[in-house]
Amino acid sequence: MLYADKYRPKALEDFDLHSDISCNLAKLISQNDCPHALFYGPPGAGKKTLILALLREVYGPGVEKLKVECKPWKIELPTRTLEVEFTTLASAYHVELNPSDVGNNDRYVVQEIIQEMAKNRPVGVSSERMFKMLILNEVDRMSKEAQHSLRRTMEKYSAACRIVLCCSNVSKVIEPVRSRCLCVRVHAPTHPQIEARLRAVAAAEGWALPAQLAARIAQASDRNLRRALLALEACKAQQFPFQEGQAVAAADWELYIQEIAAEIRAEQSPRRLHTVRGKVYELLVNCIPPEIIMRRLALELMQKLDDELRQSVAEQAAFFEHRLQEGSKAIFHIEAFVARFMADYKNFLLAAMA
């Protein structure tokens, strides 16, 4: 078992990093007040951990008896029958899914799932909690039509189910949905907090973790606790016992993006663009989110640029990231960003030589 899962807090009272949030959630549950909720914050901050602890506080340990279902759905539309298949993680009390996995059909999936949940009430719970919970991940990647559909469905079935939303960018969630939820901001842990957590894990495992190595892991994690714990595990596999000057290995996909950025700066041609397209495809096939690829690639490209060109690249990256959210084919928008950068960079080099 990974350390990120092994040392994940199970109950609200076990939280050290977000103790204020967990205490407020426990007070709500004790007063039998469980509204729709929206948890937002950067990756690795602890959103899913808080949601799972909230489920356990409401329903007890029964929520840990999970089953994974890959279920086909037939949704009757006015003009056709829509067939979609997606994976859900469910217990007797809740269902967890990612609506953005089905692309532009996400609005039909949300309606169908909530209607199905409303027909079945959980058993073995108090009368104040006779509702199921639906956990929707990556809500900021849902289409605007799906979010408007979610707003109407939240109102219609509020007595039968509670909806818990999870996202990284709350600005991409429409205001009508946000206004109907209890918004909980889960901030990223600071570097000292990550170092303290790493030392706690090392002490639980019976290791001696050098302070300098813990500081370097925290610095390389970009305030992502999950990433820091995975890096700690990678350092142990690489060299144990730990050394003060031990290097912190970067993730393979990050090294791959650095290689792509170096190739783009080295040559700007249709042939190189075709090569880059194939490598971006490899990242997408290995489940690296396209937004992460776009952001990391832009940062790598801007490292060795003139200030004037750096501003232009940042503007183009923001433009194509917005297009990425609105479109359905991520490779098109990432490739368009790379082509735009190649053209601008080549013109900049020619002007500098002239």
Query: Looking at per-residue confidence, does 244 or 119 come out higher?
Result: 244
User: What pLDDT is stored for residue 307 in this prediction?
Assistant: 77
d(CA 167, CA 65): 25
Query: Could you tell me whether strands 161-167 and 37-40 are parallel, antiparallel, or unpaired per DSSP bridges?
Result: parallel
Tens of pLDDT, residue by residue over 275-297, are: 999 999 999 888 888 888 998 99
Tens of pLDDT, residue by residue over 12-26, are: 888 888 888 889 888
**Structure confidence at residue 162 as a pLDDT band (50, 70, 90):** confident
Least confident of 74-83, 170-179, 302-311, 334-343: 74-83
User: What pLDDT is stored for residue 340 in this prediction?
Assistant: 92
Does position 335 have pLDDT exceeding 60, yes or no? yes
Does position 127 have pLDDT exceeding 60, yes or no? no
| C-alpha distance from residue 67 to each of 81, 88, 89 (Å) | 27, 8, 6
Mean predicted confidence (pLDDT) in 17-37: 85
User: What pLDDT is stored for residue 128 in this prediction?
Assistant: 54
d(CA 83, CA 72): 7
Residue owning tokens 């937004």: 291
Cα angle for residues 222, 314, 144 (degrees, 5° grid)? 85
Does position 63 have pLDDT exceeding 60, yes or no? yes
Query: Could you tell me whether strands 67-76 and 81-90 are parallel, antiparallel, or unpaired per DSSP bridges?
Result: antiparallel
Query: Looking at per-residue confidence, does 87 or 257 come out higher?
Result: 257
8-state DSSP, 43: T
Mean pLDDT, the chain, integer:
83
Mean predicted confidence (pLDDT) in 261-272: 89
Does position 147 have pLDDT exceeding 80, yes or no? yes
The token pair that represents 184 in the structure block: 């909980």
User: What pLDDT is stored for residue 277 in this prediction?
Assistant: 92
